[in-house]
Amino acid sequence: MDYQLQDQTLIFHFEGDFDNVAVGKVKETCAALIETHRPKLVKLDFQKVDFVDSTGIGFVLARYKQIKKYDGELVLCNLSSSQKRLFHMSGIFRIIRLEQSEVLI
């Protein structure tokens, strides 16, 4: 996982398997960075993610709740069609915006 912080935007780029073990490794770092900087916009980029399961949905929902507390916005970026299908089941797109373009700042 790497991240970029510029102005009021924080972007996390995840890669490989975003499974239970991987989420366990990054969630505290992500939560701490958000808490420290309180960026207006947080983007989670899934472009290089090969696999995601319900642990990933739990992670996204937890970050959404964390960011909403201080009125920030969370955006999901570059989900593959099967990842979109998986996230769709949780109704997540009713509250979280999806952006399908390359995220570069």
Partner 1 sequence: MNRMKLSFCSHLENEAFARTSVIAFLMPLSMSVEEVMEIKTIMAEAIVNAMIHGYEGREDGEVIVSVSYDEQKIVTIIVEDQGCGIPDIDLAMQPLYTSKAHLERSGMGMSIMSAFADEFYVNSKVDCGTTVTIIKQIHGIEDQQ
Distance CA 102, CA 75 (A): 13
**19's tokens:** 């499974």
Per CB under 8 A, which region of 2-10, 40-48, 51-59, 71-79 contacts partner 1?
51-59
Q: Are 49 and 19 in contact, with CB atoms under 8 Å apart?
A: no
Q: Check binding of 19 to partner 1 (CB under 8 A).
A: yes
Residue-wise over 23-51: b if at least 16 C-beta within 10 A, else e?
beeeeeebeebbeeebbeebbbbbeebee
Q: Check binding of 61 to partner 1 (CB under 8 A).
A: yes
Least separation in angstroms between CB 66 and partner 1:
10
State which of residues 1, 26, 33, 57 lies at the interface with partner 1 (CB under 8 A): 57
Interhelix angle for 54-68 vs 20-37, to 10°? Answer: 10
Per CB under 8 A, which region of 6-14, 33-41, 47-55, 67-75 contacts partner 1?
47-55
Q: Check binding of 33 to partner 1 (CB under 8 A).
A: no
Per CB under 8 A, which region of 6-14, 38-46, 50-58, 68-76 contacts partner 1?
50-58
Q: Check binding of 98 to partner 1 (CB under 8 A).
A: no
